[in-house]
Amino acid sequence: MAKNDILNGEFFINGDTACAEGAISAGCRFFAGYPITPATEVAERMSERMPQVGGVFIQMEDEIASMNAILGASWAGMKAMTATSGPGFSLMMENIGLGVMLETPCVVVDVQRAGPSTGLPTLVAQGDMMQARWGAHGHYEIIALVPDSPQEMFDLTIQAFNFSEKYRVPVLLMADEAVGHMSEKVVISEINPKELVSRPRPKVTPDKYLPYDSKKGLVTPMAVAGEGYRFHVTGLTHDDRGYPTMTAEAQDKLVRRLVDKVRLNIKDITRVEEISIADAEVVVVSYGITARIARYAVQKAREEGIKAGLLRLITVWPFADERIKELAALVKAFVVPEINYGQIVREVERCAGGKAHVKSLPHMGGAVPLPDMILQAIREEA
């Protein structure tokens, strides 16, 4: 394969490999990671492909260092990514929070496995969904996408990079072991450069540059280290120059902007897929591999004359609050299957606000739920 050769065509590959290729197509040229099941194949693919496309691959000593490395690479002007699973995701949390505070574009892939702790390293789960939202301390917003196929592992990795660059935030790709390890046809087509987003760059001379000057918008221009711009970045509450400012007023101004640049763009960020929703009386809300199983259960329910529909969450964070609220006024019930003991179901309950019954359908992990379990829950709520 020639240098700078980006794949183009149809391939039979697993989700982890598709994720790596999506990153390359998005312009990622730096990957730092530490091997961990079931995300290791992402790193393996990147270790092979980064040198081929003129990028850099580094195997770090652990996940803490991996997260640090991609933050540094991003400030050096690179599109950067890492990949991990449960225990590694926990180790990355402090520096994900740092990435939020520094407004650093990067992508973190979590191919979820069963926990807590070491759990079942090779088997499926969706137990990191709330950790994705609240794992780092302090208040912030996060963007998290959830693929349900190898094709979406490719497509949503590109979308994750676009979001990270557009809003200057770390973006999470919350896959699961089943999607990461399943092999299917993945169509990799040439990406129009106009479809790829790059972070806003300063339009002023270095002597006039302020790293966090938000007078012209919530997302501030980002200089690249080594280009002559003087800047200071810190995890401390800081002013427009990036210098620490230990006041409640500075905290309010900064954190409010960090939150608002996601909250005020929810319509641009949030994505769902709706199947047979128009006349549905029972709506299954699901994501990832569980949504594929739920799709079949909804189809079987329809064949039985039950008005069932599927709301598949593609963006889990920010949550699809408004759509759930709209549906709650129209349907009898929501059924929420997920491979954990009930996490996203709490968000559905919050948004439903008692207007529609919400049934949790938890599965502890290690295997996917059976479609008959979901079908039976639909029958009970119809």
CATH code: domain of residue 328: 3.40.50.920
Decide which of 150, 166, 195 is a domain's last residue: 195
- The answer to whether the CB of 124 falls within 8 A of the CB of 367 is yes
| pLDDT at residue 2, as a whole number | 46
Cα–Cα distance measured from residue 320 to residue 10, given in angstroms and rounded to the nearest whole number: 32
Q: Does residue 258 belong to any structural domain of this protein?
A: no
**pLDDT over threshold 80, residue 189:** yes
**pLDDT over threshold 90, residue 214:** no
- pLDDT tens string 94-123: 999 999 999 999 999 999 999 999 999 999
Q: Does residue 211 belong to any structural domain of this protein?
A: no
Same-domain check for residues 279 and 168? no
pTM: 0.96
Same-domain check for residues 25 and 149? yes
- pLDDT tens string 276-335: 999 999 999 999 999 999 999 999 999 999 999 999 999 999 999 999 999 999 999 999
Cα 128 to chain centroid, rounded: 11
Share of the chain above pLDDT 90, in %: 92
Residue with tokens 């759930």: 324
215-218 CB contacts, 8 Å cutoff, 24+ apart: 218/257, 218/260, 218/261, 218/264
- pLDDT tens string 35-87: 999 999 999 999 999 999 999 999 999 999 999 999 999 999 999 999 999 99
Decide which of 180, 195, 210 is a domain's last residue: 195
Closest residue by Cα to residue 169 from 262, 64, 90, 43: 262
Q: Does residue 95 belong to any structural domain of this protein?
A: yes
Closest residue by Cα to residue 135 from 84, 78, 177, 70: 84
Q: Does residue 224 belong to any structural domain of this protein?
A: no
Same-domain check for residues 169 and 28? yes
Q: Does residue 307 belong to any structural domain of this protein?
A: yes
Cα–Cα distance measured from residue 199 to residue 138, given in angstroms and rounded to the nearest whole number: 25
Decide which of 195, 220, 247 is a domain's last residue: 195
- pLDDT tens string 342-377: 999 999 999 999 999 999 999 999 999 999 999 999
Same-domain check for residues 187 and 289? no
**pLDDT over threshold 80, residue 4:** no
- pLDDT tens string 153-165: 999 999 999 999 9
Closest residue by Cα to residue 335 from 295, 279, 303, 278: 295
Same-domain check for residues 179 and 62? yes
- How many domains in the chain? 2
| pLDDT at residue 1, as a whole number | 47
Mean pLDDT of the 249-253 span: 96
Q: Does residue 225 belong to any structural domain of this protein?
A: no
Q: Does residue 104 belong to any structural domain of this protein?
A: yes
- Kind and range of the H or E run holding 88: helix 86-102
Same-domain check for residues 61 and 189? yes
| pLDDT at residue 216, as a whole number | 77
Same-domain check for residues 190 and 295? no
Same-domain check for residues 287 and 162? no
Q: Does residue 230 belong to any structural domain of this protein?
A: no
Q: What is the pLDDT confidence band of residue 215, given thresholds at 50, 70 and 90?
A: confident
Using CA atoms of 10, 12, 15, 16 in order, give the dihedral in degrees to the nearest 10: -100
- The answer to whether the CB of 310 falls within 8 A of the CB of 275 is yes
| pLDDT at residue 3, as a whole number | 45
Same-domain check for residues 18 and 127? yes
Same-domain check for residues 187 and 280? no
| pLDDT at residue 231, as a whole number | 79
**pLDDT over threshold 90, residue 190:** no
Cα–Cα distance measured from residue 19 to residue 44, given in angstroms and rounded to the nearest whole number: 12
Q: What is the pLDDT confidence band of residue 5, given thresholds at 50, 70 and 90?
A: confident
Cα–Cα distance measured from residue 200 to residue 217, given in angstroms and rounded to the nearest whole number: 11
CATH at 147 = 3.40.50.970
User: Domain limits at 158?
Assistant: 9-195
